[in-house]
Amino acid sequence: MVLSALEARQAPVDKRHLAKSLGLRGDARRALTFVLRDLTRDGRIASVSGNRVVLVRAPATRDGLIPIEIVGTDVEDGTLLVKALEWTGPSPLARLTVAAGHPSPPVGARGLGRFEFADGEWRATLARLVEPEPERLVGRLMRAGSGWRLEPTDRRIRTEFVVEDDRLQPSDNGLLVLAEVLVRRRLGLPRVRIVEKIGHFGDPKSASLIAIHAQGIPTEFPPDAVALAARAHPAGTDQREDLRTLPICTIDGADARDFDDAVFAEPDDDPENPGGWRLIVAIADVSWYVRSGDALDICARQRGNSCYFPDRVVPMLPERLSNDLCSLRPDEDRPVLAAHIVVDRDGRKRRHRFTRATIRSAKRFTYEEFQAIADGKRHAPEMLVSRVVQPLFGAYRALAAARTARGALDIDVEERKVELDSHAKVASIRPRVRLDSHRLIEEMMILANVCAAETLERRKLPCVYRVHEPPAADRVEALRETLDGLGLKLSGGTASRPQDFVRILDWAKGQPWHAMVNQLVLRCQSLAVYSTATQGHFGLALPRYAHFTSPIRRYADLLVHRALVTGERLGAGGLPDGDNAADFADAADHISATERRAVAAERDAMARYVAAYLEDHKGSTFPGRVTGVQKFGLFVTLDEIGADGLVPIRTLPHDFYRFDERRHRLVGERNGRIYVLGAAVEVRLNEVDGLTGSLTFDLLDKDGGKPPARGSFRRTGHRKPRRH
């Protein structure tokens, strides 16, 4: 009965809702807990997000085979145990059956197999083993006698490699290459062969090139996709709502090249909604040009998203679309998918609808320009101020009030921008200033994303949602112990509500360790992913959420557009008949991975740009703060430019240091010195490794920075926030 109920559902279900749907009461409800426990133990169901469960299904490819990995042996009879690498929820262990006459594969081997559930346990049959893809890495070539060595750019790889290539020339010394690791020998250094030459180390553009190739990010579009983009022509206005007479505008960064969102606001004239607002969020109609299954769609899905670096953008779509036909440039007709939204004076949504429309952007604002006009620091025509700027800020104040009321997190983590000179060298690294104009666009985009998610859920269409689950209990407990050392109490048991974190962030405002507390809260959070299940967004305190507002640079948004076009019957370009929930589930997993890939590449490139900038500052001293404590040393973040580096434990005054993991500190056994998380310190830049982007500091205050006093948050007299 329980399995049948779960079989009828495509998404995880709350245990309470499951009991209610089965008509269980009293003792029967308590018995359900034991049934679910047994089903979980047997691998028939999986627990997700605490009280939510889902039926475990063995995903099958067209030939019925799924990827498996040998993970161990049964201690009683020696039978090999395997797990599936693609599974709904945690993969149960299965006993492996190997055909007679075939040798047993070693633990760690991967292959393809079939799963079945029989006699109360999962069993797997091995079809064939699969050779792993050769490991690839990026490194710098160095001449070594009569041969060549490769020095990896990944700081985690602490060995050099022998290069097997007799075509290298003396001019290749210092060349950056992508290499493939060969089968390791028992003795000697590991060996590689060169796959691709990237460029020379020391070239200002090498920082982003290393990151791009190390992460395997595609940089060239296939010819058929380029040809399809070249043949594209502007969409007509037939069967589209005409919004060209409205003063819709775009607000973006000064260096933005593609404009995929435009906004408009005006007071609602409905007497039943006094003080309310009518909003339009118009998003480039990329689904009109990129159809499911065509060459553009295939390469967009492969990339998953655009990647942004200080010197370049690796776009998801060819420039003909991303910077031309799909970019909402001023004074040009552009097709959009428009969200028409009505909110009340408190920013609560009353209703919404989607249309396919044509707009003509009235103006392209930068964030700084828009903010200066709103603050009266820059002159603008009266009509522009009264019809565009003032209504948008009026609507923003209502949406901001709604955000505060629902208790959404507002983690203040300072971002920094690398500015390059005409030779692509780092000229400066400065904090990104966050203005109300940034928040205005953010709130309007969040609202449009909510409308998209609600429509998709109501229509029961298969698509991807943006999911941010509550933080794991072990992370919350670790945060609780850290904050306790600062005199803060994280209430709420397992901190299952965003408001529990909001109070901590509010208490930290104006304190010297404000940035550190925000970083700690950020690290505690779960990673946001894409999913076909509407599991809500913890950080935004929203029950449902989907990405809709950036289809030029995110494949998830393009899928949402197609689903909306189908659900709202808005014409061609929607979901094809062959699309189903399984297709979208695969897409959700893939684009979650490509997003992580992009983040890793952007972070690695930033570290190398920072290292290049600091090359000329060796020996300089900087103020900073301890942002990490490990048994091998202290991680310090510089106050001015946000650079992260290591103070090795060997550079601290000679002593035996005990690593107190619970309190995040190093304690000297003889000298009594204590180095603690959050301490303000002064450091000297000792080493800069431009190849790996790593920095090494010497701590000038050998006695350690003073830790924040316990209870100091409350002694400051900072007012406690209201409970929402």
Question: How far apart, in whole angstroms, are the C-alpha atoms of residue 699 and residue 684?
Answer: 7
- Domain assignment present for 523: no
- Domain assignment present for 11: yes
Given this model, what pLDDT does residue 7 score? 60
Phi, psi of 248 (to 5 degrees): -75, 140
User: Which tokens sit at 188?
Assistant: 């000697």
**Structural domain total, the chain:** 5
User: Which tokens sit at 4?
Assistant: 């049948």
Kindly give the parts of the chain with pLDDT less than 50: 48-49, 60-62, 578, 705-724
Given this model, what pLDDT does residue 711 score? 37
- Domain assignment present for 486: no
240 and 368 fall within a common domain:
yes
Q: What pTM did the predictor assign?
A: 0.79
302 and 376 fall within a common domain:
yes
Given this model, what pLDDT does residue 123 score? 83
Question: How far apart, in whole angstroms, are the C-alpha atoms of residue 59 and residue 57?
Answer: 6
312 and 261 fall within a common domain:
yes
- CA separation (Å) from 686 to 186, 202, 610, 632, 645? 37, 20, 15, 17, 10
Query: What's the burial of 505, exposed, middle or buried (CB within 10 Å: 0-12/13-18/19+)?
Result: middle
Distance of CA 696 to the CA centre of its chain: 28
- DSSP secondary-structure letter at 469? P
pLDDT digits (tens, 9 = 90+) for 452-509: 999 999 988 878 999 999 988 878 888 887 787 667 777 655 556 898 899 889 988 8
Strands (E), 134-292: 136-144, 147-152, 161-163, 175-181, 191-200, 241-242, 249-252, 261-267, 277-284
State the SS3 of 198-244.
EEECCCCCHHHHHHHHHCCCCCCCCHHHHHHHHHCCCCCCCCCEECC
Contact assessment for residue 450 and residue 408, using Cβ atoms and an 8 Å cutoff? no
Given this model, what pLDDT does residue 376 score? 94
Element (H, E) at 372: helix 367-374
462 and 359 fall within a common domain:
yes
Lookup result for tokens 């633990």: 107
Given this model, what pLDDT does residue 708 score? 45
The dihedral of CA 543, 262, 228, 304: what is its sign? negative
- Domain assignment present for 507: no
- Domain assignment present for 213: no
Given this model, what pLDDT does residue 62 score? 44
Question: How far apart, in whole angstroms, are the C-alpha atoms of residue 208 and residue 312?
Answer: 8
- Domain assignment present for 681: yes
The residues, any chain, with a CB within 8 Å of residue 318's CB and separated by 6 or more, are 221, 225, 226, 229, 296
158 and 186 fall within a common domain:
yes
CA dihedral 64, 65, 70, 74 (to 10 degrees): 20
Would you list the DSSP string of 478-528?
HHHHHHHHTT----STTT-SHHHHHHHHHHHTTSTTHHHHHHHHHHHSPPP
The domain that contains 636 carries what CATH number?
2.40.50.140
Q: Map residue 600 onto helix, strand or coil.
A: helix
Given this model, what pLDDT does residue 524 score? 87
Question: By residue range, what is the domain housing residue 591?
Answer: 223-468+529-605
625 and 538 fall within a common domain:
no
Up-side HSE of residue 67: CA atoms within 13 Å toward CB? 9
- Domain assignment present for 245: yes
